[in-house]
Structure 1
């Protein structure tokens, strides 16, 4: 199951996310999303856990907890939707 983790501190690392979720089961992958322009965290990330029961337990226990002085949001990740592209207006 893929898990969305939001409202992360800009300093939170993938290693910290792995350590946070590991007590609930195997963490297959941890990813903090980085802004390609600034090279800084965008304040959210994703965790992949192979066992859905463990993932759901992690969501229940970690949503609303404090990490690096931030109250995090943890829920099941939704599939990315296709964003509509608007044509640029030429002047």
Structure 2
């Protein structure tokens, strides 16, 4: 198990500091980041928290998954690596006629 957690369905009012504070109840938080829109700076409604150990990560999952934060039931689980080869960018497959 990893100590990096995905946190979903976050209210837009949650920021990095409040996310860190919520998880610190379950152990030492190595990092906490709410993902934001590049253009508007507004929260995308999810983030990532890295706990100091797997045991603390599991405690946070057990304690926070399904809990209500500002009226929204948050989802907390182990973060999985992003699948796929990515997207975007320019790829030339030769000329199109």
Length-normalised TM-score, structure 2: 0.83
4+ aligned runs moved over 6 Å, structure 1: none
Query: Which structure 2 residues correspond to residues 24-63 of structure 1 after superposition, within 5 A?
Result: 24-63=26-65
Could you tell me how far apart the structure 2 residues matched to 1:53 and 1:60 are?
Answer: 11
1:8 corresponds in structure 2 to 10
Per-residue deviation, 1:82: 2.5
SS in structure 1 opposite 2:38?
A: coil
Unaligned runs of 5+ in 1: none
Whole-angstrom CA distance in 2 between matches of 1:66 and 1:83: 35
Answer with 1 or 2: which has the greater Rg.
Answer: 2
Task: Name the counterpart of 2:80.
Answer: 78
Inter-partner Cα distance in structure 1 for 2:57 and 2:17: 17
Map of 1:65 onto structure 2:
67
Unaligned runs of 5+ in 2: none
Corresponding residue SS for 1:28: strand
Aligned length: 88
The alignment's TM-score, normalised by the length of structure 1, stands at 0.88
